[in-house]
Structure formats: structure tokens, C-alpha cells
Copies of this chain bind each other. A is one copy, B any other.
Amino acid sequence: MSMNEVKRPWERLLDLLETRNPDLVRAYLNSLKSEEIVRSISHMDLHEQRLLLTLLSPEDAADIIEDIPEAQAASIIETMKVKEAAAILNEMESDDQADLLSGLRPENAEAIIKRMKPEEAADVKNLIQYKPETAGGLMITEFLTYHENEFVGEVVNDLRENVEKYKKYNVQYLYVTADEGFVGVLQMKDLLMSKINTRLSEIVIRDTFTVQDSTTLDGLISFFDKYDFYGVPVLNDKHQLVGVVLRKHILEAKNERASIDLLSTQGIVGGEELRTMPLLIRSKRRLSWLSINILLNIMAASVIAFYQETLSAVIALAVFLPIISDMSGCSGNQAVAVSMRELSLGVVKPYEAMRVWLQEISVGLLNGLALGILIGLAAYLWKENIYLGLVVGGALSINTVLAVSLGGTLPLIIKKFGFDPALASGPVLTTITDMAGFFMTLSLASLMLAKL
């Protein structure tokens, strides 16, 4: 068997692209898993990506665009002709349309909207005004409504006649409106079990949950935590039905946020990074945080500069400073992680910093003692000086208590002031624990200098 026989999916795809035969390409794509398609696309250059999407039907291209990361989708769409892009946008779900268009340069987005089908364009212009993490930004506008004066028979006929057209719609529920606005929800099984001359007003479920278009993602997450619905109707401030938020979209948004959180704890800000992005963007996104961090680091290390005499007298201390800095950072970040999780589970609220602090102190004392003994022992065994062990071990013990106290409470305090706890906890925390750790070790050492 030669190596040529085992081609990667993107190599096969590029071969098929050269045939310019949409059916072959499409059949091959259907045989791939969703993640294989995403990965294959990220192996192509912009030219090949555009070729693929324009070769496929707009429906198939829309499926792919909805699957790949948003930043990537936007860069492909921007290489296309406005007409091609509009044809693909027409086939997407309304919330994906809005997300994608808000990722484009405004002039491009506007041009594309002008070429879209009028009804799709109207929907998307409406949606694009909402903030992304609100019910308005997360809802879909593909839903079916009927007036409360209509009859069951009319609805059933309409559904039968428009099966094709309604395929894109969310037909788990139907909605009922009146002249004054939203009335309620109609269940499929009630349609099934009612006579055809029943008025919808008789079988509509009126006492139904709704959310406002301004409801935040947090509000929606806790709504779907409490209620086991497939979706919830969204009303504007005139009590009109403007869309439906689906549970799956909320769970996806929550997932996406957790994943972005992991990036931002490492200081990759301004959106996601994929390695297929241009080098300068990737470098800049990482560097903006690194350069703040290096300044904070220099600030923390300047504490050491004040103790150069102590250090030259006991050069062994230089070995322990990085250890104390790193270990305090680790202990503190564990406490940060627990607080972040408790915040996201909702078992702790920002104003409970005092309670969290008390709970952290006990863990800090216990773990600080254990770590202090370990490192103190190492120092003693190396230099055979019990006082060096006491200085180093004592400093780490005290600093561990400080680190977990800060680590546990900082996320709550930062959240209380309206900032993102994931982003801010790390650098602030390690700068303070570094400064305190260096100060503790070197000032203790200065006090005991005669014995070291």
C-alpha cells in the first residue's frame, strides 16, 4: 500500500474541487462528520474556501457557514461577490444571519443585506439591532403564528399545504396572536385532538411563559434551568411576538462563553484565536495582555531590588523566590477556579465575599502549612540551616493563606463592579501574591540575617 492511498479529507476535497462537479463534492461532504468538514475548511486557503462555497448550492453552503467558527465564516464571506454572499445568507437561520453580518465590515454587511430576499432582509435588519447576548440577539424569527379567531381546520390545512415552506421553521409549537398582541401557545397534540371547527381561542394555552427581547443570556440560562421547555416566545415592549428563543441556542451560547472564558483566563482577548488567522492578529491579541503582564511582573520583582544586600549575603534565597512566586500563584488560581465555578453554578453571589473568605482561610492554613513544611525541609536539607528552612517555609505558609483569600474573593469583587471575573483575576492576583511573597521572604531573611 502506498502512502497516496490514505488521503486526508481536505486532500480528497481539493481533488474533487478540481473536477468542478458540485454533485461529487456534495456527496463527499455528506459522507464526512461535521468536525471533519470544519477541519478540512481550515486547511484550505481563502481562494479554495470561496471556490468550495460557490460551487455548492446556497443551501449546502449555508450549512457549512453555520458550522465553522464565526471569524472564519466572516473572512470567507468577505472574499465573495455580494450576490453570492446574499444567496448563501438567504438560506441561513435568522440568528446566524445576524451574527455573521455583525462580524463583517459595516459597508459589506449593508451591501449584502440589500441583495437578500426582501423578507429575509427585513428580519435581519430587525435582529441586528439587538445586542448579541440578549433574547433579541439569540432568538430566531422562523415561527408560525395564527390569529385567535382562526379555526383548527384552517391551521391543519395551512400546515399540510406548506410542508416544504415550513421546513425551516420551528414547528414544535405554534403561536396565537390577537389584534392586541401575543395570546399564547398552541400544542400539536391539542390540534390533533380537537374538532376542525374549534376556534384557536378555545384551545390556546394562555398562561404561558414569555421573555422580553431585552432579557440577558444569564436570565435565559436560568429560565431554561428552571423550565424544561424546547423554546420560549420573545415579546417586545408592545407585547408583540418578535421571535422564539430555543433551548439549544442558549446551551450553545453558554458553551461558547465557557470556551471563550478559558481563552481569556490566559489573556487572549478581543475574540477567539484560530491558528489559521493572520500572524499579526494572533500576535497582537496575545501580546496586548503579555505586555501588561510584563509591566506588572517588573513591578512585583522590583521588591527584590530593595533587598539586594540580603540576597548577596544569602544567595540561596534566589533559588526559592521563583518557587514561592509560582506556588502562591497556583494556590490562588485554584481558589479562583472554585469561585468561578460557584459563580456560574449560582451557589455563590458577589456580595458573599466575606463568607467565601472565611471558607478559604481554613483551606489556606492547612495547605500553607503542608507546603511550608515541604519547602522548609528542602531548604534545611540543602543548606543544613534550620533558620533558612523557617524563613522560606514560613513565608510560603503565610503567602498561601493570602493567595487563597485573594483568589477566592477577587472574582466576586471584580464581578460586583461589573467586570469579567475570568479576565481580571489572574494578573491582578499573581502581581499581589508575588510582591507579598518576595517581601515576606526577604524581610524575614533580613531579620534573621545573622543566623542564615
Contact = CB atoms under 8 A, between A and B. Distances in A.
Interface of A: 33-36, 38-39, 42, 67, 69, 156, 159-160, 171-172, 188-189, 191-193, 222, 225-226, 230, 247-248, 251-252, 254-255, 258-259, 261-263, 265-268, 272-276, 279, 282-283, 286-287, 290-291, 293-294, 297-298, 300-302, 304-305, 308, 311-312, 315-323, 325-327, 329-331, 333-334, 336-338, 340-342, 344-349, 356, 359-360, 362-363, 366-367, 370-371, 374-375, 378, 382, 430, 434, 438
Nearest to A306: B319
A375 B69 contact: no
A319 B347 contact: no
Number of copies of this protein chain within its complex: 2
Contact of A315 (B251, B312, B341, B375): B312
A251 B250 CA distance: 10
26 contacts: A34-B226, A35-B346, A38-B345, A156-B193, A172-B172, A172-B230, A247-B248, A251-B255, A255-B255, A265-B337, A272-B341, A274-B345, A274-B347, A275-B342, A275-B348, A276-B347, A279-B363, A283-B367, A290-B331, A291-B374, A293-B326, A298-B323, A301-B319, A302-B319, A305-B382, A325-B326
Nearest to A344: B259
A326 B262 CA distance: 19
A119 B185 CA distance: 34
A39 B251 CA distance: 21
A417 to B, nearest CB: 21
Contacts of A342: 274-275
B38 A347 contact: yes
Contacts of A191: 192
A325 B325 contact: yes
A36 B279 CA distance: 45
Minimum-distance CB pairs A-B, first 5: A35-B346, A251-B251, A34-B226, A266-B337, A318-B318
Contact of A334 (B36, B266, B337): B266
A191 to B, nearest CB: 7
A320 B190 CA distance: 73
A275 B338 contact: yes
Given A259-B344, A301-B319, 12 more contacts: A33-B226, A69-B347, A188-B189, A251-B252, A273-B338, A290-B331, A297-B327, A304-B318, A305-B319, A305-B382, A312-B312, A317-B318
Contacts of A356: 275
Contacts of A36: 346
Contact of A188 (B188, B273, B340): B188
A35 to B, nearest CB: 3
B308 A316 contact: yes
A298 B266 contact: no
B225 A263 contact: no
B226 A334 contact: no
Contacts of A317: 318
